[in-house]
Amino acid sequence: MSSQRDQYAYFAPITTRWHDNDIYGHVNNVVYYSYFDSVANRFLIEQGGLDIHQADIVGFVVNSTCHYHSPVAYPEPLEGGFKVNKLGNSSVEYGLAIFQQNADMASASGSFTHVFVDRHTGKSVSIPKSIRQALESAIR
């Protein structure tokens, strides 16, 4: 898994929340998947023009991984790194990482795969042109 900041194409701020911490005093492992999902969808909305409320297509997560490198805790401000590992016709594998502000090494890194489907039928469809162009710009 990529864990260096310079390996990512796009960054989004992440605001930790009080309930992100677990009883051990750091962000719970499952919360990182929420961060990954937020960063990827923010990229699709901002860079690809995805209208999450009206678009005929949606992305379904079909696979995900996360590797934990160092703990973070509320109220620490974080940044989510985003890149594209693999781009197919109807699917894309994202590379994602969570960084403490100004850190070069990720606190967590991972990936997840979106398959784009028709919102109404649930059947896979080709990635729309505007989204594909944005994803191509983030291939690393």
| CATH number of the domain encompassing residue 132 | 3.10.129.10
Say whether pTM exceeds 0.75.
Answer: yes
Q: Which domain holds residue 50?
A: 5-137
Residues 99, 79 contacting (CB under 8 angstroms): yes
Residues 81, 40 contacting (CB under 8 angstroms): no
DSSP for 30-91, written as a single string: HHHHHHHHHHHHHHHHHTT---TTT-SEEEEEEEEEEEE-S---TT-EEEEEEEEEEE-SSE
* Count of structural domains within the chain: 1
The confidence score (pLDDT) of residue 1 equals 67
The confidence score (pLDDT) of residue 112 equals 95
3-state SS assignment for residue 100:
strand
The confidence score (pLDDT) of residue 2 equals 75
10-residue mean pLDDT profile of the chain (140 residues): values are 91 97 96 97 97 95 97 97 98 98 96 97 97 98
